[in-house]
């Protein structure tokens, strides 16, 4: 008998494991459902990107001769849930089993595990083999380790893939070239132009649907520039390799007013939805190095984001969930400020990052980590609220990748499972890596008072508040020595400035 094969919205690749043995007579089910679009109030562009990409992928499967059942959000009989659509499909299709690839979020995975009992049919949940590392490989690597540092896992991934390797040794004699990747932008630097994406009737129909049905969700659809097919995603990758990769490394941590993308790849949304695969991206970057088109520091830094960070956070997520999401090591209790949604704050760095996020469902990793993430850490924002914000606002956000990056790296809520220390910094870091401070009404040179940069006094107040939990951290000895040098009057001014500012939130 035939199989019902369920393809989720982030599994848009013909090489997905649930299609590996599809035969004539099987039915491929894809569905736009209200529950998945609204379990958090996703950015309008994220919903539009996924719905349009899903529709295009379904059309590709039909062109390839497969039997596809595609359910649109506004179909009259749409039940609003994935389970409901699977159950409804089975009413008209005689199947002896269901096949799907494991999903990327604990919430949905826990639900699918019970489908076999509810439906009375076997449910074959297959491994997602689009990743370089299997979850078992990560568990084996993590077993008996006192600390789970990404750097050491990354080296294993380099050895496994052979990327940038000379036999057993890393290309260039070093595993990591971050020391060359922390440059601020030269005066007058202009980022490369980006290729625009021409939208067809399918995408235009989806944009109208999203504007009509999700009008109260965060974000704008006015400048929707996401590719929605594999061919479009490949063109965006080629454009990055050709124009942006050479300077990517040097300026990957830089930020600038009005420069929404700089030299970043913008391929994470395509990668996480399945339109691109990790090895083809990394091999394209490696080839650019071999051909002399891009320097080693740029290529290594880019590849590390994919086979290092991305693979690592996935492994950590599935290793530690569901308890991981409930940790709150620093006892953060403050509500998320409204300016994360409105951008209405005198802190120009946050206002600029929120604007970029609102307009494009995008901000690069340093904007996320050292601006919005850093502020949430310093101000003590509740982990649940800042985690939900990041999951909502970015087109590339799925909980398996978002949660560890936010919860562990940005706000240190896991107490050091992921990062060896909190990524806390004062306004001096933002000033060094951007031109944001030049357009800010606050002064980064002032340390306390109404005109001082809030990041600066919040930084010292954060260390003071969390001293008992952080002082013995081996990587924070120097910052606590600097804290100890501050006299009583200075510390009182810091505490008073921090309290006065935080009370306004």
Instruction: Establish how many alpha carbons lie within 13 A of residue 97's alpha carbon, considering only the half-sphere containing its beta carbon.
Output: 9
Residue 204 placed within a domain: no
Q: Which residue's entry shows tokens 């400020």?
A: 337
HSE value, Cβ hemisphere, 13 Å, CA-based, for 75: 17
Same-domain status, 286 and 406: no
The answer to the question of residue 402 being in a domain is: yes
The pairs formed by 156-165 with CB atoms below 8 angstroms and a separation of 24 or more are 157/132, 157/133, 157/307, 157/308, 157/311, 158/307, 160/132, 160/133, 161/132, 161/279, 161/282, 161/307, 163/282, 163/283, 163/286, 163/303, 163/307, 164/286, 164/289, 164/296, 164/299, 164/300, 164/303
In a domain, 326, yes or no: no
State the distance between the two ends of the chain, measured CA to CA, in whole angstroms.
60
pLDDT of 63 reads: 97
Of 274, 291, 320, the residue at which a domain comes to its end is 320
Same domain, yes or no: 248 and 153: yes
According to the model, what pLDDT value does residue 179 have? 85
Please state which of the ranges 75-84, 140-149, 232-241 shows the lowest mean pLDDT.
140-149
Q: Please report whether residue 217 resides in a domain.
A: no
pLDDT-derived band at 246 (thresholds 50, 70, 90) equals very high
Q: Are residues 73 and 178 in the same domain?
A: no
Q: Which range of residues forms the domain containing residue 175?
A: 135-198+224-320
CATH of the domain at 233: 1.25.40.80
Angle at 353 between CA 198 and CA 37, to 5 degrees: 60
Say if residue 119 is in the same domain as residue 139: no
Last residue of a domain, which of 272, 293, 320? 320
pLDDT(188) > 90 = no
Q: What is the pLDDT of residues 302-337, one digit of tens each?
A: 999 999 999 999 999 999 999 999 999 999 999 999
Domain boundary pick from 81, 106, 126: 126
- 219 in any annotated domain: no
Cα–Cα distance measured from residue 426 to residue 443, given in angstroms and rounded to the nearest whole number: 12
**Could you tell me if 391 and 468 lie in one domain?**
yes
Q: Is the Cβ–Cβ distance between 62 and 41 less than 8 Å? A: no
Which pLDDT value is given to residue 181? 86
CATH number of the domain enclosing 357: 1.10.579.10
Nearest residue to 327 (alpha-carbon basis) of 458, 141, 469, 459: 469
**Total domain count for the chain?**
3
Does 264 share its domain with 363? no
Residue 499 lies in a domain: yes
Residue 207 lies in a domain: no
Same domain, 83 and 145: no
pLDDT of residue 500: 97
Q: Is residue 422 part of a domain?
A: yes
- Give yes or no: residues 186 and 85 share one domain: no
pLDDT at 146 over 90: no
Tell whether the model's pLDDT for residue 22 goes beyond 90: yes
User: 16 and 165: one domain?
Assistant: no
Mean pLDDT of 237-254: 96
350 plus 267 within the same structural domain: no
Q: Which of 140-149, 219-228, 366-375, 391-400 has the lowest mean pLDDT?
A: 140-149
Give per-residue pLDDT as tens, 264-287.
Answer: 999 999 999 999 999 999 999 999
> Are 274 and 163 contained in the same domain?
yes
Q: 3-state class of 253 per DSSP?
A: coil
67 and 144 housed in the same domain: no
The secondary structure of residue 71, as a DSSP letter, is E
């Amino acid at each position: 008998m035939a199989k019902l094969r369920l393809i989720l919205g982030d599994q848009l690749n013909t090489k997905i494991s649930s299609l590996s043995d599809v035969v004539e007579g099987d039915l491929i089910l894809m569905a736009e459902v209200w529950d998945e679009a609204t379990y958090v109030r996703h950015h309008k562009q994220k919903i539009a990107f996924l719905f349009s990409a899903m529709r295009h992928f379904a059309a590709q499967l039909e062109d390839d001769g497969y039997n596809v059942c595609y359910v649109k959000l506004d179909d009259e009989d749409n039940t609003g849930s994935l389970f409901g659509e699977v159950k409804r499909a089975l009413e008209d299709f005689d199947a002896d089993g269901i096949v799907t690839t494991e999903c990327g979020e604990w919430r949905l995975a826990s639900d699918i595990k019970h489908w076999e009992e509810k439906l009375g049919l076997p449910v074959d949940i297959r491994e997602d083999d689009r990743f370089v590392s299997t979850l078992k490989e990560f568990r084996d690597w993590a077993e008996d380790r006192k600390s789970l540092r990404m750097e050491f896992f990354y080296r294993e991934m380099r050895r496994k893939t052979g990327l940038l390797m000379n036999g057993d040794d890393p290309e260039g004699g070093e595993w990591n070239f971050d020391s060359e990747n922390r440059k601020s932008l030269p005066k007058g630097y202009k980022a490369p132009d980006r290729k625009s994406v021409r939208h067809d009737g399918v995408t235009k129909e989806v944009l109208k649907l999203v504007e009509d049905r999700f009008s109260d969700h965060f974000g704008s659809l006015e400048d929707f520039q996401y590719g929605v097919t594999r061919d479009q995603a490949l063109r965006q990758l080629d454009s990055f390799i050709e124009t942006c990769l050479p300077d990517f490394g040097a300026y990957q941590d830089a930020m600038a007013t009005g420069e929404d993308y700089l030299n970043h790849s913008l391929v994470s949304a395509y990668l996480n939805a399945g339109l691109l695969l990790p090895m083809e991206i990394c091999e394209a970057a490696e080839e650019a190095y071999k051909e002399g088109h891009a320097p080693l520091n740029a290529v290594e830094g880019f590849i590390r984001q994919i086979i290092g960070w991305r693979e690592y956070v996935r492994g950590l997520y599935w290793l530690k969930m569901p308890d991981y999401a409930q940790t709150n090591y620093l006892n953060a209790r403050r509500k998320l400020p409204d300016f994360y949604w409105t951008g209405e704050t005198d802190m120009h760095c946050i206002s600029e990052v929120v604007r970029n996020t609102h307009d494009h469902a995008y901000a690069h990793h340093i904007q996320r980590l050292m601006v919005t993430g850093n502020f949430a850490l310093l101000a003590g924002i509740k982990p649940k609220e800042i985690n939900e914000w990041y999951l909502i606002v970015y087109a590339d956000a799925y909980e398996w990748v978002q949660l560890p990056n936010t919860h562990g790296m940005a706000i240190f809520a896991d107490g050091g499972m992921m990062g060896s220390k909190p990524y806390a910094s004062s306004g001096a870091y933002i000033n060094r890596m951007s031109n944001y401070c030049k357009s800010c009404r606050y002064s980064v040179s002032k340390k306390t008072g109404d005109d001082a940069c809030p990041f600066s006094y919040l930084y010292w107040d954060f260390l003071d508040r969390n001293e008992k939990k952080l002082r013995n951290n081996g990587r924070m000895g120097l910052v606590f020595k600097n804290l100890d040098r501050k006299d009583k009057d200075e510390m009182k001014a810091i505490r008073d400035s921090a309290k006065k500012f935080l009370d306004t939130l």
